[in-house]
């Protein structure tokens, strides 16, 4: 309409929507879902219960939760033709690339266009993607490890099923470890939604063109893959391993991170919104300590992470820029303790973030948000006449 256009790279000072799902206070380090504090949700609710809250707006009654869980289980089978797709990937394919492709491929087998006027059609799309996403995620890992592809075990809860999908070896007795399940459930609750982060904004903008839910989630997986976003949890472990190989010299890496001529950044540090501690990092750090005690583990990587955090937080460079550990700094240490391979860490983040992507997509469509189409400030060539080959 010819109004003033402000250029805001990275949308650092732009609000893209109104939302009732998640509240963040970056200064105070507050995170709430539908008004409930993250500290309470991780301690008192399960991952799937929080998913219900985030998606539908209220904590479920017992019967609502049972129906939700049963409906998800009723969709946990994957069309066998999907194996043709996974077999087509080179053995070196990254699981995030496989997950994004497999999620998009689901549109071939399940009505992907969601008529938002049909509550039932919306609900069916939601329970289908919640059911199939963890199975496809586990296939990405097992196929690259040459393991047989597992199917969902509907006798188990959502997180126990995820564990057996990832780790069960068909020829052996698989025992669910309740300590590991509790740690993973709590960890994934901390990933469920985070207002308008990069991948969620991607899911919203793709959905704003009326692309379906599965196609929008597939785009979200790709956005999450980047190491400045969800890919950071894998990058943190690779950084900590590097520090360990270097004899634990955290100061060397902190100096590299401060050196503007060095592209290296301290992975797992800093956040666009949190200019104080990321409340999730605090919870995960404690959960890591508890898990290591419960499983009687001793991993030098955890000590290196704590030492790195301690030295960095004392350094003016980080303090001046309000750079604190974020959700990705300690999460990989727990995944590693649970036996998740490092290239699957970001896939675990995607499994955790799926309910938030669904909820934000649903809210955007129900609010009938317009198609996302920002403007720009043109700084290229002014008008000029065409030149033939001879004149160039």
Number of residues that bind ligand SDX (CB under 6 A): 22
- With CA atoms as reference, report the closest residue to 352 among 40, 15, 54, 26: 54
**Structural tokens at position 235:** 């990058």
Decide if 271 is catalytic: yes
Contact window for ligand SDX (CB under 6 A) among 114-122, 153-161, 269-277, 303-311: 269-277
Alpha carbon distance 316, 314 (integer Å): 6
Are the CB atoms for 121 and 87 separated by under 8 Å? no
Distances in whole angstroms, Cα of residue 287 to Cα of each of 196, 218, 384, 392: 26, 30, 63, 65
DSSP character at residue 106: G
Distances in whole angstroms, Cα of residue 361 to Cα of each of 113, 117, 218, 358: 13, 14, 12, 5
Sketch the per residue contact string, 194 through 233, with ligand SDX: x for CB under 6 A, - otherwise.
x--x------------------------------xxx-x-
- With CA atoms as reference, report the closest residue to 204 among 32, 22, 16: 16
Q: Please state the φ and ψ torsions of residue 140, each to the nearest 5 degrees.
A: -60, -40
Decide if 328 is catalytic: yes
- Which of 204, 271, 285, 336 contacts ligand SDX by CB under 6 A? 271
Residue owning tokens 């507050």: 30
List helix spans (H) across 45-156: 47-56, 62-73, 82-87, 95-105, 119-144
**Structural tokens at position 115:** 């008529």
Using CB under 6 A as the binding rule, the residues of this chain from 232 to 251 that contact ligand SDX are: 232
Q: Does 108 bind ligand SDX (CB under 6 A)?
A: no
Using CB under 6 A as the binding rule, the residues of this chain from 46 to 75 that contact ligand SDX are: none
**Structural tokens at position 259:** 């050196």
Nearer to ligand SDX, 244 or 258 (CB): 258
Alpha carbon distance 60, 52 (integer Å): 7
CB of 197 to ligand SDX, least distance (A): 3
Nearer to ligand SDX, 308 or 323 (CB): 323
Q: Please state the φ and ψ torsions of residue 339, each to the nearest 5 degrees.
A: 90, 15
Q: Does 306 bind ligand SDX (CB under 6 A)?
A: no
Contact window for ligand SDX (CB under 6 A) among 98-106, 266-274, 337-345, 365-373: 266-274
Which of left, alpha, beta for 296 (phi over 0: left; psi -120 to 50: alpha)?
left
Q: Does 321 bind ligand SDX (CB under 6 A)?
A: yes
Supply the angle between the helices 232-245 and 250-258 in degrees, to the nearest 10.
130
Catalytic choice (271, 278, 307, 315): 271
Nearer to ligand SDX, 161 or 360 (CB): 360
Using CB under 6 A as the binding rule, the residues of this chain from 162 to 201 that contact ligand SDX are: 194, 197
Q: Does 326 bind ligand SDX (CB under 6 A)?
A: yes
Look at residue 30 and give its three-state secondary structure: strand
CB of 288 to ligand SDX, least distance (A): 17
- Which of 237, 267, 305, 358 contacts ligand SDX by CB under 6 A? 267
- Which of 10, 35, 247, 316 contacts ligand SDX by CB under 6 A? 10
- Which of 134, 212, 270, 355 contacts ligand SDX by CB under 6 A? 270
Alpha carbon distance 65, 243 (integer Å): 45
Under 8 Å CB-to-CB from 382, ≥6 apart: which residues? Answer: none
Nearer to ligand SDX, 10 or 380 (CB): 10
Nearer to ligand SDX, 212 or 325 (CB): 325
CB of 23 to ligand SDX, least distance (A): 13
Are the CB atoms for 186 and 283 separated by under 8 Å? yes
CB atoms within 10 A of CB 16: 17
Q: Does 269 bind ligand SDX (CB under 6 A)?
A: yes
Position with the least CB separation from ligand SDX? 270
**Structural tokens at position 223:** 């956005």
Nearer to ligand SDX, 265 or 282 (CB): 265
Contact window for ligand SDX (CB under 6 A) among 38-46, 179-187, 267-275, 281-289: 267-275
CB of 7 to ligand SDX, least distance (A): 15
Using CB under 6 A, list all residues that contact ligand SDX: 10, 194, 197, 228-230, 232, 257, 265-273, 321, 323, 326-328
Name the residues annotated as catalytic.
Answer: 271, 328
């Amino acid at each position: 309409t010819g109004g003033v256009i402000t250029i805001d790279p990275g949308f650092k000072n732009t609000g893209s929507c109104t939302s009732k799902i998640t509240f963040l206070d970056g200064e105070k380090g507050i995170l709430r879902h539908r008004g409930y504090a993250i500290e309470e949700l991780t301690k008192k609710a399960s991952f799937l219960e929080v998913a219900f809250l985030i998606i539908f707006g209220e904590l479920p009654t017992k019967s609502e939760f049972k129906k939700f869980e049963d409906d998800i289980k009723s969709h946990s089978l994957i069309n066998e033709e999907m194996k043709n797709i996974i077999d087509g990937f080179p053995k070196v394919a990254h699981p995030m690339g496989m997950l994004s492709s497999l999620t998009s491929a689901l549109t071939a087998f399940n009505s992907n266009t969601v008529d938002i006027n049909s509550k039932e059609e919306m609900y069916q799309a939601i329970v289908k993607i919640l059911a199939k996403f963890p199975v496809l995620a586990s296939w990405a890992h097992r196929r690259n490890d040459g393991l047989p592809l597992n199917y969902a075990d509907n006798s188990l809860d959502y997180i126990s099923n995820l564990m057996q999908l990832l780790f069960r070896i068909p020829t052996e007795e698989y025992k669910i470890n309740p300590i590991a399940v509790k740690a993973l459930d709590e960890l994934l609750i901390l990933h469920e939604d985070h207002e308008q982060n990069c991948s969620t904004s991607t899911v919203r903008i793709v959905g704003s063109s009326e692309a379906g839910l599965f196609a929008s989630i597939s785009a979200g997986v790709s956005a999450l893959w980047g190491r400045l976003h969800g890919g950071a949890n894998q990058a943190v472990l690779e950084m900590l391993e590097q520090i360990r190989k270097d004899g634990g010299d955290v100061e060397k890496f902190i100096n590299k991170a401060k050196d503007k001529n060095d592209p290296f950044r301290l992975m797992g540090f800093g956040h666009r919104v949190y200019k104080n501690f990321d409340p999730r990092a605090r919870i995960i750090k404690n959960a890591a300590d508890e898990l290591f005690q419960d499983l009687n583990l001793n991993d030098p990587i955890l000590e290196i992470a704590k030492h790195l955090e301690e030295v960095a937080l004392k350094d003016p460079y980080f303090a001046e820029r309000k750079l604190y550990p974020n959700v990705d700094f300690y999460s990989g240490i727990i995944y590693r303790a649970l036996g998740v391979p490092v290239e699957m860490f970001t896939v675990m983040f995607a499994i955790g973030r799926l309910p938030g992507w669904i909820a934000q997509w649903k809210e955007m469509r129900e609010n009938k948000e317009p198609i996302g189409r920002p403007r720009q400030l043109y700084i290229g060539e002014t008008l000029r006449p065409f030149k033939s080959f001879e004149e160039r």
